[in-house]
Structure 1
């Protein structure tokens, strides 16, 4: 079944039991009974503030519909105005824009009443005049030209740019005069009747006319202000000041959805010259917001519910089945304090004939939820969860097109690591998978086995960048499915937009890649054919081959006869430059890791003498000369299978025992 992407927009579909808080807000507005009210709905970016606002609005309408049906209220008791300050940023004065939106809504409401309608139109004119006066004072051209610049923003196309380009010419003034002449009637209707009024007088008249309109219409104005925390400080302050004109006016209620931290920071920036302290900033905000509320953070139970409802929504369930599912899930969330959890089994039981595909997705949601909450890069944020699912859906589609068979849960697990892990850690994961034989990383398998056995991971086993996020990584490794023995190249390939995957094949020619593959799997000494193939590889590619061999060798804990040694010595035998790199690598192994069988294996090599010198100079090995170990090394070489030989070696060469 093909899946659609989830839209990153506000919704009135309540998948998180937000209706409890929304109902509280609605009831407060109803209980105010026309008394002024301001409510702040706060929360970080993407937590669902906009959705909460929509649910509040819907809840009020539903409550009023019930009240009207039972004869408890008159129709149209409430007038709703939605104002998104972000839309006006950079295009209009936020203060005047908010006033105009409110006045226009009141005017449209009053269309059936001639007297009230005229008052609404007059109010709009006053607001236009207020906008004109504000802009004229800012530009400072009234004295020079006598032309109301602000009022021509909509009538004289391009005049604003002419007057604000830093060079006011005679041609600019002439163009303005012509525009005024052409629209003289409109300008006169807006400006001349009010030209003697000062801004305070205009504001007083605006408030008076608003109050009269609200009283005559018998409505409570409910203004929802959203996305204020996306705006620049001047727009934030302008909107807040416009709200202040209406706050504490009878028959008004404001619901402001914004991150209070962002708003307070805007206040601080706007008044930076006065250097406001925290108390002043907080007081400014508190004077505007009577009742502060926060969107509650999501826990594991809520994230499970959200993920499962999103999957259910996208599975073409019957509308009635989906609505019943939503209600039951919210009921379960409401009683979660009793220990009632959201599980895949619980949700599956609510869906008649639940498909196998949806069951798998619900199981996936069950497994992912805890990591979605714990991950600092997701933190249970609904918007980030949607983005995660959209990315997952895209990668599944890419895999299908390219015929890459990867379990959905494996896609999700790798994507989750990509989301929460540091960049260095994710790059290490990429390298582990890319350089592993058939994409099956032995290091990942060892880490997973250790963590799932509840054992502590040795510091030197952690790949680069993993130890810094070890707790999160351990939780991730415990997640199903298991990474052990799984070819992860396909899953990594479809996610390569996140980090370029430089595989062995990208670095090496086909011939060199075959040599590397043979060296990685070598269990005995190199054959004549392999030696010939190594010699035929260019020196630059032999260096890349050694990079990959040493990367694998770095995970070895003991250096007696690890299987990787056979490939390393075969390459060193064919290339003196790579031999020096191997000597440096072996000479740097911890003393506890070195075993006599290593010396037995390599002592006859041309490059072994240099290794012996390095080891003899090691203070942690006691400065021992290794000639005395050669005889026992030969014995060890001849009897590797003999378990009694190490005791003889320890007697001859105790420093290496």
Structure 2
């Protein structure tokens, strides 16, 4: 088989710039919800496990919102924030509010008769944020029994911002009321919606998770504001749980037994009105993703587009991925064959997680490169099967290495091949293992019945022919670097 994976060019663990996962349907749904006038303000969740493509969906949402922008007088202002990257010395509340105010400041239009009105409101709001930061500095200093430095306070409380409100603004009290006035001001009348895209919240420390959600609920949830929060909903609830005492068994958060939902989830759902779950990849999606990932390193965006569109059409029509090869201009038989061979393994073992699939392919390329640099050319499907043992079926791989160390690898591989119903080469010692008979099938000897087999979980059964070897051909050991001497020639084993 032609090598469908060159031994270089790894895939970055970054959000995709091109949608290879057909997540555009999810993004369009979210974009429609955040712009719905009946949902104002609104917070929408995009939930999925780590590596499932949440950040990619946020990028698609941003693109979908840009397409809906109705010109200079009806703008959609997008604010992207990542609480995971917040400065730990500054509170999550102050950081998120500061990012929103900074984006709004650039949109303020000074017009005749109302010049300075919105800017004065903005200065007052900034003053409250600065005072809140100063109070945090003082609180932390008191815990360490140290007075805050003069520079720490003066850089947070500027004379200009404190004078803007006559010295009345202290902390975040009344912030929501003044922020709502700012959003209603004539100088921001051209901004029809502010959409805040929140990413990586499920990676944050518990206090950052709580602070971010409290900011959205208590300070920023005013008309014209929408939020899209990409996070694993269960992990966010885990972060909230220490703040709320669990209700007694069999009762709801109110103690009356009307709702089995715990307090942490109830609090989260009070802030996030609805959550769009990110679907795991189906078997078809997994195979299509493997094909498109390979093609993405060989084609530019324009050349790749017909394959993406064709996959989307086949998905809608419940068609077969084999029809993807009908697109003229390029032979993709190698990529299709490689994907079809890997899909049963990766779909089952990696549970349709795009990041884990990409990582597996990166590891595969590294192993191929090591073999190539040692003068050994290996077909990618051979390396992949070895990696399944090493990465996904660890117990089985340890058993193989044990056979290698004891000089039993070749004999054990022959036993497994015979137990799987495959012929043993005529020039190989059979050690009592009978070859398959073309008419009567496999005649099992005592050696065959006692031959070890691999279970689906990677463990090696001690005897009998099981179905655990499904999807893995054990003669790959001989073909991929373990020579007749039983020595590993590609550096697979670490010993």
TM-score range for the pair, normalised by the shorter chain length:
0.7 to 0.9
Which position in structure 1 is the counterpart of 2:314? 332
Distance 1:469 1:106 in 2: 68
Q: Deviations over 1:581-602 (max 9, x none)?
A: xxxxxxxxxxxxxxxxxxxxxx
Could you tell me which of 213, 216, 224 is aligned with 2:189?
216
Which of structures 1 and 2 has the larger relative contact order (alpha carbons within 8 angstroms, sep 6+)? 2
**Does the CA contact (< 8 Å) of 2:176 and 2:220 recur in 1?**
no
- Deviation at 1:180? 6.5
Matched residue, 2:212? 239
Superposed, 1:170-209 pairs within 5 Å as 176=150, 187-192=158-163, 193=165, 195-197=167-169, 199-209=172-182
Distance 1:247 1:447, change over 3 A: farther
The separation in 2 between residues aligned to 1:54 and 1:318, in whole angstroms, is 20
The counterpart of 2:326, out of the listed 341, 349, 367, is 349
Q: Hey, what's the Cα distance between the residues in 2 that align with 1:37 and 1:475?
A: 50
1:50 corresponds to 2:19: no
Q: Determine the structure 1 residue equivalent to 2:347.
A: 373
Could you state the TM-score of these two structures normalised by the residue count of structure 1? 0.61
Please give the residue correspondences for 1:532-611 in structure 2 after superposition, counting only pairs within 5 Å: none
Q: 2:65, 2:11 → 1: CA distance?
A: 27
Q: Distance in 2 between matches of 1:430 and 1:123?
A: 70
1:254 aligns with 2:227: yes
2:419 to 450, 470, 492: 450
- Partner residue, 2:363: 391
State the Cα deviation string for residues 572-616 of structure 1 (Å, max 9, x = none): xxxxxxxxxxxxxxxxxxxxxxxxxxxxxxxxxxxxxxxxxxxxx
Deviations 1:366-403 (A, max 9, x none): 1111211111xx22210011111111111111111111
Per-residue deviation, 1:450: 2.6
The Cα shift of 1:483 comes to 2.8
2:403 aligns with 432
Q: 1:42 to 1:179 in 2, by over 3 A?
A: closer
DSSP 3-state at the match of 2:9: coil
Equivalent residue, structure 2, for 1:478: 471
Q: Deviations over 1:415-463 (max 9, x none)?
A: 1222221x333211223345547xx633234324434579999576247
User: Highest Rg: 1 or 2?
Assistant: 1
Q: C-alpha distance in 2, partners of 1:127/1:296? A: 40
| CA positional deviation for 1:329 | 1.2
| SS of 1:44 mapped into structure 2 | coil
Partner residue of 1:105?
103
1:309 is aligned, of 269, 277, 292, to 292
Equivalences for residues 450-469 of structure 1 within 5 A: 450-451=419-420, 461-462=452-453, 466-467=459-460
Kindly state the Cα deviation for residue 291 of structure 1 after the two structures are TM-superposed: 1.9
TM-aligned CA distance change 1:180 to 1:22, over 3 Å = closer
2:434 is aligned to: none
Aligned-residue offset at 1:253: 1.6
CA distance, structure 2, for counterparts of residue 450 and residue 114 of structure 1: 88
- Matched residue of 1:32: which SS? coil
Quick one: which of 75, 79, 83 aligns to 1:77?
75
**Structure-1 residue corresponding to 2:272:** 289
The question of 1:410 aligning with 2:382 is answered yes
Determine the C-alpha separation between the residues in 2 that align with 1:125 and 1:469.
Answer: 75
Structure 1 432/459 Cα, relative in aligned 2: closer, same or farther at 3 Å? same
Instruction: Answer yes or no: is the 8 Å Cα contact 1:125–1:190 preserved in 2.
Output: yes
Seen in structure 2, the aligned counterparts of structure 1 residues 467 and 93 have a Cα distance that, compared at 3 Å, is same
Cα distance change on mapping 1:80 and 1:469 into 2, 3 Å: farther
Distance 1:194 1:203 in 2: 19
Q: Does structure 2 conserve the Cα–Cα contact (< 8 Å) formed by 1:304 and 1:369? A: yes
Q: Which moved more, 1:254-263 or 1:390-399?
A: 390-399
Runs of 5+ consecutive residues of structure 1 not aligned to the other structure: 142-159, 503-657
Question: How far off its partner does 1:247 sit?
Answer: 5.8
**Structure 1 equivalent of residue 132 of structure 2:** 134
Q: Which is helix-richer, 1 or 2?
A: 1
Contact 1:395 1:495 in 2 (8 A): no
Alignment partner of 1:15: what SS? coil
Query: In the aligned structure 2, how far is the partner of 1:179 from the partner of 1:267?
Result: 31
CA contact (8 A) 1:445 1:485 kept: no
Secondary structure (helix, strand or coil) at the match of 1:404 reads coil
**Corresponding residue pairs, total:** 449
* Conserved? CA contact 1:82–1:224, under 8 Å: yes
Q: In the alignment, is the contact (CA less than 8 A) between 2:20 and 2:308 conserved in 1?
A: yes
Corresponding residue SS for 2:195 = strand
SS in 2 for 1:196: coil
